[in-house]
Amino acid sequence: MSKCESSLDVDLGDRSYPIFIGEGLHADAAYYRKYAPGTQVMVVTNETVAPLYLDKTLQALAGYELRSCILPDGEAFKTLDVLNQVYTALLEARFTRKCTLVALGGGVIGDMTGFAAATYQRGVHFIQVPTTLLSQVDSSVGGKTGVNHRLGKNMIGAFYQPRLVLADTATLNTLDERQFSSGLAEVIKYGLIVDAEFFDWLEEKMDALLARDPRCLAYAIQRSCRCKADVVEADEKEAGQRALLNLGHTFGHAIETGMGYGEWLHGEAVAAGMCMAADLSRRLGWLSSEAFERIRALIERARLPTAPPAELSSDRFLELMAVDKKVLDGRLRLVLLKEIGQSLVTEAFEHGKLKETLTRYGR
């Protein structure tokens, strides 16, 4: 039997939906029945996740006209071409606009399946079953879907909300250490941007989290999703405050693009990016050295990188950051920290200080 430890509702008017968190949820038929209307369901997953969780998911969906679509694993396959395989599978199965797509996997599967759901016949139902910590705390809330373009990450996409998210903590047991830590980067991020108390809790519980204590995990996931939902509910289309969620991401995307997708995990790049944002905030005189050190130390304890790869020069960094979506009308906007739990989005910072941060870390 599955065990729902906690849940929350993401409140977006007629696009609201629940997130359930607990052990074994991915195999629980009751949730699917309630949230997948119609008769046709396609589970989209990848070659790594399929052997672990696809069978039980399909069993839980028995009774539907059922298909699965197994994609290659990895950020390198988050492309229009691979997306087209999903469309082809849907059309070959003659799935109608009343069908439901279930994303079973991490962030790449969630983003691609969500975008397929947003665009197949101009929109079909979508259920997310994130199987990594990163996707449970990040992709579960926010409705961002899409694919990469060779000239930039997540450059093609849509905002599209799921009807249901099932965050199954049992699926985290099969994550390797790097993947697990990558998820912790986003968990730490929520503490940094809006929730100092949660940051304190993370300092206290980091060892239990690393030991994958199920109750600690469920709490961290629920609180992370709540932080993100609060930000997103206030600003669904990313006009303003939602950009706080990008702490570390402008630097991080530059690292991911500069190193080639897949070399650095997303959370690893964000972790290094958060250290860079904290470093810049400190140089601007906004963040204390003590707070900077607490941030760096917690990220290190989470077994995450605290600096970018040395081979990215500061000039290359600036070039890579210039194509990031966070650049408005040519001006570089960054998320920076006033203190732990207080962040802001700004383009009003001394660019010389940014250069100092990049030079400190770059070759």
Q: Which residues here bind a second copy, judged by CB under 8 A?
A: 38-39, 80, 84, 87-88, 91-92, 94, 96-98, 118-123, 144, 146, 149, 151-152, 155-159, 237-238, 322-323, 325, 327-330
Please state the closest distance from residue 139 (CB atom) to a second copy, in A.
14
DSSP tag of 105: E
Is 189 marked active-site?
no
Task: Exactly one of 236, 238, 263, 356 is catalytic; name it.
Answer: 238
Is 3 marked active-site?
no
Task: Exactly one of 78, 242, 282, 283 is catalytic; name it.
Answer: 242
Please state the closest distance from residue 318 (CB atom) to a second copy, in A.
13
Task: Exactly one of 246, 282, 283, 333 is catalytic; name it.
Answer: 246
Cβ atoms 96, 40 nearer than 8 A: yes
Contacts of 213 (CB under 8 A, 6+ apart): none
Nearest CB to a second copy, comparing residues 122 and 348: 122
Phi, psi (deg, nearest 5) at residue 49: -80, -35
Please state the closest distance from residue 314 (CB atom) to a second copy, in A.
20
Task: Exactly one of 5, 186, 256, 268 is catalytic; name it.
Answer: 186
Q: Residues 45, 30, 225, 197: what is their CA dihedral angle, to the nearest 10 degrees?
A: -130
Nearest CB to a second copy, comparing residues 149 and 178: 149
Task: Exactly one of 94, 122, 150, 237 is catalytic; name it.
Answer: 122
Query: What are the distances in angstroms from CA 261 to CA 96, 108, 149, 198, 308?
Result: 34, 12, 11, 31, 15
How many other CB atoms are there within 10 angstroms of residue 342's CB atom? 15
Tokens of 6: 């906690």
Query: What are the distances in angstroms from CA 209 to CA 25, 192, 258, 302?
Result: 20, 17, 31, 9
- Three-state secondary-structure class, residue 81: helix
Nearest CB to a second copy, comparing residues 223 and 228: 228
Task: Exactly one of 26, 223, 226, 253 is catalytic; name it.
Answer: 253
Please state the closest distance from residue 158 (CB atom) to a second copy, in A.
6
Is 319 marked active-site?
no
Nearest CB to a second copy, comparing residues 85 and 136: 85
Nearest CB to a second copy, comparing residues 315 and 339: 315
Please state the closest distance from residue 97 (CB atom) to a second copy, in A.
6
Half-sphere exposure of 196 (CA within 13 A, CB side): 9
Please state the closest distance from residue 223 (CB atom) to a second copy, in A.
26
Angstrom distance (rounded) from CA 229 to CA 12 = 9
Nearest CB to a second copy, comparing residues 40 and 281: 40
Taking alpha carbons only, the member of 105, 110, 129, 163 closest to residue 2 is 129
Q: Which residues pair with 13 in a beta bridge?
A: none
Is 266 marked active-site?
yes
DSSP tag of 26: G
Is 122 marked active-site?
yes
Is 338 marked active-site?
no
Query: What are the distances in angstroms from CA 156 to CA 114, 115, 199?
Result: 12, 9, 33
Contacts of 210 (CB under 8 A, 6+ apart): 180, 301, 302, 303
Nearest CB to a second copy, comparing residues 286 and 317: 317
Please state the closest distance from residue 83 (CB atom) to a second copy, in A.
8
**Alpha carbon 83 to chain centroid distance?**
19
Task: Exactly one of 78, 125, 144, 163 is catalytic; name it.
Answer: 144
Catalytic residues: 122, 144, 186, 228, 238, 242, 246, 249, 253, 266
